[in-house]
Structure 1
Amino acid sequence: MNFAKRFVCRKVAIHLSNSHVVSRSGNLRRQLSTSSRSMTVMPAWVIDKYGTNDVLRFTRNASFPTISYPNEVLIKVFAAGLNPLDVGMRSGYGAVTMSMKRDPLGMNQSSSEFPLVLGRDVSGVIMECGLDVKYFRERDEISLKPKSLSHTEAAAVPYVAATAWSALVNTGGLNKDNCACKRILILGGSGGVGTFAIQMLKAWGAHVTVTCSQDAERFVRELGADHTVDYTAGPVEEPLGALDKFDLILDNIGGDAERWALTLLKPWSGAKYVTLVTPFLQNTDRLGLADGMMKTALTVGGKALKHLASGVHYRWGFFAPSGPALDEVRDMVDAGQIRPVVEETFGFSQVPEAMEKVEKGHARGKTVVQVSQGGQDL
């Protein structure tokens, strides 16, 4: 199963289909019903242009993916997890960066991203391995998949796990050995990344405060949150300002949070503000890749210097695929320290409804699409 990309994928994600190519993944001892070598087309949800949910189109004749590089594997998808980014990409968000990823040297002038299949998280079975893949075998369910999870549950983990890990560990400097007694604030804690971050931090001994709506307070407390602040009751900066200051803030909401949130950190103590809401893809869409990256670097550099003068560290967090990180996540899941939060499951024929639900926001965990079951497409 492709619990997640162990290394950066060389192909466009095609998760809302019944097959997917990634770089090195894999492990489930189950005979597949069909051989990948004998297939040329597959069912998939595609878009032929960017736009609203109306651009989604179902086809039974999408091109079957093939292995192009020796470090890739071909996966039969059983379940796909949806993320807000998928909705954004449906509308064209990040199109410039994704185009560069598909054709990094700009050699194929006639190439087009359409028809494009959306999606980033999958769980499934390896159908075929590239020549350089030694870590996995055909017909394996990827070893990164927690043994205690079904494919539907596992599909809810990779993207949020890698994002939370990147933000808290790589950017925030937290780990299982230094979290005890640290005070962490999560702005927007009931969504996919927030629910994962709460559990990970609590497993490491941190004290976790979460902002959420009143009807989500019990939910996030059950995940381990020590304290909650209801953002529907009024400006959260007031009740948060009455609390002891924090060692790290993870911002999932953006907006004007930067205006007041950094004042909640312990000054001159190495405290960090890590936001996952960045203008990087917006900049590259608007200005092109080179100018967009320059604009992004100048923006983050300016903000970092400004807040460093106040004694706190300002950082941007990003999704970053990591095999070792996901190995740790697998162990934490199987040890009962983290559980995936699946808010709702949809059949493959209900992809538009699933995308619409994600687009409405106010999530309580993840939305998952069951693509196939027991080797049969749904």
Structure 2
Amino acid sequence: MKAVIIEGYGGKEQLQYTDRNMPVLKDNDVLIEIEATSVNPVDWKIREGYLKEKIPYDFPVTLGLDAAGTIKETGKKVQKFQVGDKVFTRPDITRNGTYAEYVAVDEGLVVKKPDNLSMEEAASIPLVGLTAWQCLVDFAGIKEGDKVLVHAGSGGVGSFAIQLAKSFGAWVATTCSTDNVEFVQSLGADKVIDYRSENFSETLQDMDIVFDTLGGDIQQQSYNVLKEKGCLVSIAMPPDQDVAEEYNIKAGYVFLEPDGEQLAKIGEKLENETIRPVVGTVMDLKDIKKAHELSETHHAKGKIVLKVK
């Protein structure tokens, strides 16, 4: 099968579109023929070696953490699926990746694709959807009436997080560039802060939740807009617990865990159109270097999707 691999850590020149052996199917696995996958910032962070202490890999590594496609084979203990089912998934990060024509995934991490989504749209969802869910629902305990700030609302995670927060009845503020103001408003953002002309920390106050996707100075300034006993949740860097204690807030870093049950709940919101997928760019798998280059700019709008089939 065709796949994109890296044989060592480094820049985008490490990405090779090449031939690989088919994945080995375990008893509880389904073999998915992938029609579309997507690029997430964590992909190039893995490629660069930023996560090598957290996730030990044996080279060569097939990258990719989102997949949508059709089940071609099932392990002998599989009960939920059959050959021909259209599915989407965020597989286990330590197994075979999804920049490939096929992937083997434990059936517990696989969900039937909502009928109203194309394969490209379905492939854009698992990682960003689960990330937003685990940050806003699991960690922050979002509820109706909460005031939520989502940083970088036009990106893959941000564009999903705005919609997820709105689906729980929250009031949502977000930051973005001038070009994306109308876009994030179309996702339901109640207040949009153009970071080129306005400082969010001078504009907002008494927020219940801040969803930090950027880290650094942005995270530091975020403490100032939270109410006492509010919540700062980050996917960029672990917050300083001494500072959190000083401000009397809950703060934490979330690293996504794959979860089929949560993905099914997200699928329901997509099926009833409470949330819509946001596909910004579609490329072919063999154009993977260009896709990584775009992701590394931090200015991709919505998700970067790769057509495999």
| TM-score after normalising by structure 1 | 0.72
Match status 1:127 vs 2:127: no
Gaps of 5+ in 2: 88-110
The letter of the residue matching 2:50 is Y
Query: Residue in 2 aligned with 1:247?
Result: 208
Please tell me the root mean square deviation across aligned C-alpha atoms, in Å: 1.6
Aligned 8 A contact 2:223 2:247 in 1: no
Does the Cα contact within 8 Å between 2:279 and 2:304 map onto a contact in 1?
yes
What is the identity, as a one-letter code, of the residue corresponding to 1:246?
M
Which of 275, 278, 287 is the equivalent residue of 1:338? 275
Distance (whole Å) between structure 1 residues aligned to residue 199 and residue 190 of structure 2: 20
Superposition misfits of 4+ residues, deviation over 6 angstroms: none
CA-to-partner distance for each residue in 1:27-51, whole Å, 9 max, x for gaps?
Answer: xxxxxxxxxxxxxxx1112222221
Q: Which has the higher strand share?
A: 2
Give the letter for the 1:170 counterpart. D
Is the counterpart of residue 256 in structure 1 residue 201 in structure 2? no
Would you say 1:144 and 2:103 are equivalent positions? no
Contact 1:80 1:122 in 2 (8 A): yes
Does the CA-based 8 Å contact 2:38-2:64 persist in structure 1?
A: yes
Identity of aligned residues (%): 36
After superposition, where does 1:20-169 map in structure 2 within 5 Å?
42-59=1-18, 61-67=19-25, 69-99=26-56, 113-142=58-87, 143-169=111-137
Query: TM (normalized to structure 2)?
Result: 0.88
Structure 1 unmatched ranges of 5 or more: 1-41, 103-112, 280-299, 373-378
Judging changes above 3 Å, is the alpha-carbon distance between structure 1 residues 234 and 221 closer, same or farther for their aligned structure 2 residues?
Answer: closer
Distance in structure 2 (CA, Å) of the matches to 1:197 and 1:353: 26
Q: Does structure 1 residue 207 correspond to structure 2 residue 152? A: no
8 A Cα contact 1:250 1:275, kept in partner? yes
Task: Tell me the distance in 2 between the aligned counterparts of 1:144 and 1:337.
Answer: 18
Displacement, 1:139?
A: 2.2
Q: For 2:273 and 2:76, how far apart are their aligned partners in 1?
A: 36
SS of alignment partner, residue 192 of structure 2? strand
8 Å CA contact 2:201, 2:224 repeated in 1 = no
Is 1:371 matched with 2:287? no
Contact 1:167 1:318 in 2 (8 A): no
Query: Which structure would you say has the larger Rg?
Result: 1
Residue pair 2:282, 2:307 contacting (<8 A) in 1 also: yes
Q: Which amino acid aligns with 1:91?
A: E
Question: Which amino acid in the other structure matches residue 356 of structure 1?
Answer: E
Distance 1:183 1:320 in 2: 26
The whole-number CA distance in structure 2 between the counterparts of 1:364 and 1:258 is: 21
Whole-Å separation in 2 of the counterparts to 1:314 and 1:222? 29
2: distance between equivalents of 1:310 and 1:356? 38
**Conserved? CA contact 1:144–1:326, under 8 Å:** no
- SS of the residue aligned with 2:61? coil
Which residue of 1 is the match for residue 154 of structure 2? 190
SS in 1 for 2:149: strand
